Amino acid sequence: MPELPEVEVTRRSFVDRIVGARILGVRQGKPLRWPLGIASERLVGRTVLDVGRRGKYLLLQLDDGVLLLHLGMSGSLSFRQAQPAFGVHDHFDLRTTQGMLRLHDPRRFGAVVWSPSIDTGRARRLLAGLGAEPLDEAQFEPAAFHAGLRARRAPIKQVLLAGDLVVGVGNIYASEALFLAGIRPTVRANRLSRQRADRLHAAIRQVLSRAVERGGSTLRNFSNAAGESGHFQSEAAVYGRVGEPCVRCGTPLKLIRQGQRSTYFCPHCQK
């Protein structure tokens, strides 16, 4: 599933090329998770002013309204001057004066939704419950993060994945951040001291920043809008390495299941 780094990498891979483009046409395939929310012909003639991101949503700011794009479980975007023929897993084309943006999504859990603005309509409902942006220093503040942890009794890994305290720390990145901070994924969130919470706060920012630098993680078929794969998975310290020696102490890494998700950790280094 594309997480925050993959979505941010995707945004950066086409934002400079699409800003200023005027929409010439829209093509939709099979229904996605939610309806577009506007007649597609009403998008024709509008101009793309910017491409932002909130959590795992890409925000195409238009001169009238905003398009929210979510990649779901298996989606990816491509932006090219000319796209191949519309395939069975292609579900949305935005044809513009500067190229065509296409959503390819085999499992169809993705979405493209129009809203009058970020603060109203569908956008407000979809974004309202999202936690702090971890790469934004002003939003993701250590004291507030610790206070949020103190209010939660669930295991820390599941709190990170929930997205209502801090957004975008997906399964790979939660495992990696917890390893970097030396925190066992099963520890209850409200048991973390301020010192340990600060270490985790710093680890989250470090891991996500590095993942963006490395183009995200490509475990199956993720690629950015220019068709480039990510490489963070090649330097993961624990994720996907069950039974292999810990890079710090040499102890074989373990795998457990938490909320139907795989969790990798070192039983010696993480307490």
List the catalytic residues.
Answer: 2-3, 56, 261
Instruction: Tell me how far apart the alpha carbons of residues 153 and 132 are, in angstroms, rounded to a whole number.
Output: 19
Q: Exposed, middle or buried, 4 (CB in 10 Å: 0-12/13-18/19+)?
A: buried
User: Which residues face 51 on adjacent strands?
Assistant: 60
Instruction: Tell me how far apart the alpha carbons of residues 73 and 89 are, in angstroms, rounded to a whole number.
Output: 13
Residue 116 phi, psi dihedral angles, 5° rounding? -60, -30
